[in-house]
Each structure stands twice: as C-alpha cells, then as structure tokens.
Structure 1
Amino acid sequence: MFIVTNREVNEAKHDAAGAFGDKPMAGANSLRLAEASRKGKKWHIDILPDTLTPELASKVNLDAEQKHFASAYVARKLLSLCSGGGDASKGKNLLLYVHGFNNDMNDILERAEQLEKNYGVEVLCFSWPANGGGLQGVLSYKSDKRDALVSLGALDRVFEKMSDFLAEFNQQYVAELEAKAEAKFGGNSEAWDRYFAKEVNKKCPFTVNLMLHSMGNYLFKHLLGSSTYTANRLLFDNVVMVAADANNQGHAQWVDKIQFRNRLYITINENDMALRASRLKMGEQQHARLGHYLRRLDAQNAIYVDVTHMAHIGDSHAYFEGDALENAKVRTFFNKVLNGESGERTAKFDVARNVYRL
C-alpha cells in the first residue's frame, strides 16, 4: 500500500507512529511518498527517497543511470497492480482515499487495508496531519481544521501528479494504437472506432476513483474554492463524499465545480453521531453538516444517498465498514461506487427530497 503525505516524516523509523509526524512539513505544498506493508499485526513503513536509488529504479524498469523521483516509482507500481501486470482479470480499480478528523497513521492504514479487502480496490492514501496536534475535544477539532486548510496545496499537487502520470501513460499507448488502427481500418471509420475502443480497454481496464471521508470533504471544499487550484482536469470516474463534515448551507456552489466521468455521490446519515458532535464543538457558527442533513440537497451534479434508517447503520460515521457491511445493500452500494460503477440503479428515489434510498 502506498501513502502520499504532507506530514513530517522520519526516514530512520519504520513504524507508523515514528515514521509519520503530527505536523505538516515545512513548505505548504511539500509531499513525501511511503510504502506500507503488513508485518504480522504491525505495519512496516518505508519512506521512499525523493530521488530513486538505482535499485528502486530498476525494480520498475526505469533507467538506473537517469534521475527519477519517487512519484515515478509509485506510479509504475500502481499501474502494474491495477492492470494486473498485463492480465486484466487480475487487475483492480484505483481508489484515492482522503481521511478525516483525528486520525493517526495506524488508524488510517487499518482503514485503508479494510477498504482493499472489502471492495477489491487498490488504495492510494493521501494523509494530512489530522491528529488534533495532541489536543482533545474542541481544541483538537479546531486544530485539525487549521491543518486541513494548510494541506490544500499538497492535495492539489496529488491530483496534478496523478493526472500527469495517467496522461503520460495514455499518450504513449494511444499514439501506438492509433497507428495500428489506421493500418488495419484506415478506410472504415466505424471499424476503426470499434477496434480502438476495444484495445484501449484492454490496456487500461481499471477506473480511478476518489473517496473523501468526514473532514476530508472540508479540505476538498476549500481546495475547490482556492485561487491556487489547478488540478481541475478530468481525473476520477466516481467521486464519493462519505459523511461530509462540511456545511450543507451553500454546498452546491462548490460541489457543482467537481469534475468526474461517471458519478458524484454524497452519502447522508441523519443519526451520524460524529457529525452531530462536530456541529456542537464549534457552536452556532457551525452550520448543519452536509453528511447528516436532508434539506437543501440542491447540487445539480450530485447524487444524494440516504442510509439513515437502514439496518446496521445506527449512528455510524463510517458506514462503509464494520457492522454496516452486514447490510447487503450497503455493501453492494459501496462496492459499486468505489469501483467506478453506478450504485443507485436499484435504489428508490424520493423526488421531494432529491435523495435516493437504497
């Protein structure tokens, strides 16, 4: 599993608590990459060097005599994993996971591992300093909101790097494929298009999706409103906003800016205890949270999904894991949307509220 982070890192440490710090790195947009592997019940962390060693470069078929950055290593590893090493039947869809408030690295890795196991995806985790700065309660919540705002540029760079690598990967292959299509079907445009579409899918049979949980949505909201936001190219098949700890009021203004190929989902649990608590922590200036409020659901490009009264949901803030998965409809929904498919087809639509119920 790979992690991209703007946390301070310690390359000499290999445990999650030691390798990742609780504060942002110096330089607002700085990023580091790490590889995490399970060693029994614990996680082993390797912070990747900014510039690849010849050994790491050779592992992903890069010229060991040239200078390469860690991002090139991670991109090639992920592309190989997601494409099944050339065997599409063994491939996985890629999920960029942005976590929420008050998460330490062990919690984040455990959750990311469960996402991989439950939904068969390959997870790339963006981790920002969401540990509350060692504080508790209201102070911790306010500290994490400040760290989320500091992390905007870093998340923007993640989107931009992902987009650049996917474009580079596709550009080379598309040029080769166009030449083959022209040689085979130069005089038959219909056959040319059919051949091209079929062969492209063979080479890149996976989808790229984004899951934002809790305060990860607050970070995303402010990135979309930032004048420095540049990574606005079409990147994700599905964007899934789970238990969004952002204002319901006025959310359409930024949600309608989000680009995607297939669907944008916003899930809601009116009984979400964590979102109720987050509203109380900030007092009256904290408006109703998007992830637990069934009014003013007015974004034009969003599909709202209400899970409030479903079995095994209760007051859960993370109803994509744990007991909630005993509900087959919930498991099926998340399995589809986190893999780039449409998840609302069998749901009932409440026209008055503009929301689907599974």
Structure 2
Amino acid sequence: MPSKHTFLICTRDIDENGVFLDEPGNTTYLKVPAEKREYSSRDAISKERWTRAVVAAADGEEDEITGSTGDILFFVHGYNNDIKTVLWRTRVLQDSLAAQGWNGLVVGFDWPSANSTLNYLEDRYDASRVSHRLVEEGLQIVVDAQFPVDPKVSSCTINLHLLGHSTGAYVIMEAFANASKKGELFRKPWRIAQVAFIGADVSSEALNFNSDWAAPMYERIFRLTNYSNKFDKVLGVSNMKRLGTSPRAGRIGLPLEIPAKAVNVDCSEYFKTKDPAQSKFTGTFNHSWHIGDPVFALDLALTLEGDIDREAIPTRRHDQGNLHLLAGQSRPEYQVGWNEDRSVTD
C-alpha cells in the first residue's frame, strides 16, 4: 500500500523562519504529509526515523527468485525547480508508476535550485557541491540497513534505483565520481539496480565506454537507460544560457560506443503525438513531459522491475538496432503468473 507521506532528502540551506533557500546547507530528512503542497523544516525528522520509515514503506513481499523485498527510486530533479515543483514531481512519479503496477517507493533528492532560468550556471555549481550527499547521505543509509554492523540487527534486501531529470543526471554522475574517491562506501558489496536519465543535461560523449567521469557510475550499476527526445528545445545548442555546450544525451541520445549495460530509448516519435493541452506536466513541456505521462511510466516501471529484457519490453519498437518508445501497449497479459513454481504431480 502506498505511503501516506512523501519522503525527501533536502540539501538546501534554511533561513530563520524554517524556509528552504536556493543555496546549499545541511542535509535535512523530510516526511511530508499528503495534504501539504510544499515543505519546510517543520517536516524534518531524524535521520534514524527517516531511514526506518523509508525502508518500511519500500519493504514488500520477498521475491522468490531475486530475494529482494522492495524497491526505492531516488528521483533527482533538474535546475530551475522550486519546492512546490520538486514535491509535485516526486508525487506524480509515485502515482504514475503505481498506476502501472510498480510497487516501490519514490524518494525525492532535493538540491539547491532557483526558480529562474537565469540561475543555470549557479545551479550547476551548487549541484556539484552537494552531489556527493546523494550517495553518502542518501543511498548509503539504505545500504547500511542492508549490511548492518551489528549481526543482531535484521537486514533487508531492497533494490535501489536512480532517476535523473535534466541536471539531475549531472548530479548522479558527479555523486558516483566523488564517492569513488572516498573508498568506505565503495568497499561494500552493493549495487544500484537501474539508473534512468530523462532530458539528461550531460554530454552524450561523457557516457561512452571509456569515459573517466562515467566509469564510477558504470562500475556500480546494472543498467543505464537514457530516454532521449530530438524535440527537446531546452537542450538545443541554440539555447544561449547553456553557452553552446556539446550535444546532450537527453536530445541526441547515447554515443555509438557504450558499455553493454547502457541502452538508449528514443522518445521522439512518441513525443510528436503529445498534446500539451491534454497532458499533465509542470515546467517546459518538451523537456519535462515524461513526469505524468502514462506511456513513459509503464516503460520505466517495466525497466525498474527488470523482469523483462530491455529488448523485449512491450513499450519499445525496434528499428535498425535502435529502440523507440511505443504507445498503445500494456503489460503482457499473463505476466502476473509467470513466476509461478509448480511441482510435478501424478
């Protein structure tokens, strides 16, 4: 059953009135009631209470094949996101994935981001400053719950996933790169199951197989799925605030030379059919249409579950070796019974 609260990790500074600012500050763990439309320091709880609540909300029935007991998707937003937007997107992701049959928990990772397109470069700098906390103060506490120091403490087995939107992809890559330098966490036997990028504001070439920047991420994950859209104007080279940076993965897709664990899903054809007037979204439509879209939600749900090979997910069409997002599809009719194990009887 979905939690009545929304869980987030916030790395923004706090003013004297308990309001979160657009500058980096201490890490705050939040449990936000469903009726609230924005959060403040009054929604903070201790790290220990937050960890117990998140693990309990994600913990489900044990999968007899994988042994896992739940899923947590950490959602990392992009630049130009205020408090209300971060909360709305975290909740819509939770609801849209649940509507497609995914039983996990979405947790928001909120980093300092101003509600202004003029703050692009400052936001990116702030993203780099706090990125390490995604691993050290987010993923690590769930990892510690799975590998407790005290043998008397019961452990759990939860699949961890990451979703980065826009600059959120940059935060994720920076987080792995920074964490790999510290060693303690990387010595533990953990893995991130699925990483997905939407509208990724990182260079396409930065994700190739020999990229020093991407290497720490690739080392720790099972799969990277990059959702690209050639109609993403926000990521276009003509966008002057981006200072003519190299072609972005969220627009042109992954480079030709990528690790076997990386795959690109081109959403361009599907996006052409989308009417903003009939869509649920916030922000610039061509850059943020994914959050609230049922076709994307189903594809992401099937990706996070990992039960179906990336080449066989029904929401994808093959064309000359490329994968394209496909509308009008649903889960396989008999998928719910595929894990049934029956003994031979007379």
What's the CA shift string for 1:109-137, capped at 9, x where partnerless? 011111111112312111100116xxx43
Report 1:238-317 matches (<5 A).
Answer: 238-252=194-208, 253=211, 254-258=213-217, 259=219, 262-276=222-236, 279-284=239-244, 286-294=245-253, 296-300=255-259, 301-311=261-271, 312-313=273-274, 316-317=286-287
1:152 corresponds to 2:108 = no
Quick one: which amino acid aligns to residue 176 of structure 2?
L
* Residues 278 and 318 of structure 1, relative CA distance in 2, 3 Å threshold: farther
- Measure, in 2, the Cα distance between the counterparts of 1:154 and 1:168: 20
Report the Cα distance in structure 1 between the residues aligned to 2:32 and 2:238, rounded to whole angstroms. Answer: 31
Give SS of 1:6's match. Answer: strand
Q: CA deviation at 1:4?
A: 1.1
Matches within 5 A, 1:170-249: 204=157, 207-226=159-178, 228=181, 230=183, 231-232=185-186, 234-249=190-205
Q: Which residue of 1 aligns with 2:317?
A: 348
When the two structures are superposed, what TM-score results if normalisation uses the length of structure 1?
0.69
- Show the 5 A alignment for 1:46-125: 46-48=42-44, 70-84=46-60, 93-120=71-98, 121-125=104-108
Q: Which amino acid aligns with 1:162?
A: V
Question: Between Structure 1 and Structure 2, whose CA radius of gyration is higher?
Answer: 1
- Deviation per CA, 1:242-286, whole angstroms, max 9, x where unpaired? 1110111232213343245642211110111222278532333x1
Instruction: State the match for 2:145 in structure 1.
Output: 165
Stretch deviating more after TM superposition (293-302 or 111-120): 293-302
For structure 1, which segment, 111-120 or 261-270, has the greater mean C-alpha deviation from structure 2 after superposition?
261-270
Q: Which has the higher helix share?
A: 1
1:127 maps to what in 2?
A: 110
Percent identity over the alignment? Answer: 21
Distance (Å, rounded) in 1 between the aligned partners of 2:130 and 2:113: 10
Deviating above 6 A after TM superposition, structure 1's stretches of 4 or more consecutive aligned residues are: none
Give deviations 1:10-42, integer Å, cap 9, x for gaps.
5864xxxx2x221111xxxx4221211122666
CA distances 1:169-190 after superposition (whole Å, capped 9, x unpaired):
9965789xxxxxxxxxxxxxxx
**Aligned with 2:113: secondary structure?**
coil
Corresponding position: 1:4 with 2:9: yes
Mark the CA change 1:130 to 1:41 in structure 2 (over 3 Å): closer, same or farther.
closer
Distance (whole Å) between structure 1 residues aligned to residue 307 and residue 85 of structure 2: 27
* Secondary structure of 2:205 counterpart: coil
Alpha-carbon distance change, 42 to 48 in structure 1, aligned in 2, over 3 angstroms: closer
Query: Match for 2:141: what amino acid?
Result: K
TM-score by length of 2: 0.71
Give distance in 2, aligned partners of 1:267 and 1:33.
29
Which letter maps to 2:193? D
* Structural RMSD (CA): 3.2
Q: Secondary structure at the match of 1:130?
A: coil
The aligned length equals 288
8 Å CA contact 1:22–1:131 kept in 2: the answer is: yes
Hey, what's the Cα distance between the residues in 2 that align with 1:250 and 1:99? 20
Q: CA deviation at 1:297?
A: 3.5
Q: Tell me how far 1:9 sits from its aligned partner.
A: 2.8
Tell me how far apart the structure 2 counterparts of residues 356 and 260 of structure 1 sit (CA, whole Å): 26
Q: 1:319 aligns with which of 286, 289, 306?
A: 289
In the alignment, residue 286 of structure 2 is paired with which amino acid?
A: S
3-state SS in 2 of match to 1:270: coil
State the distance in 2 between where 1:340 and 1:276 align.
Answer: 32
Contact 1:207/1:237, CA 8 A, preserved across alignment: yes
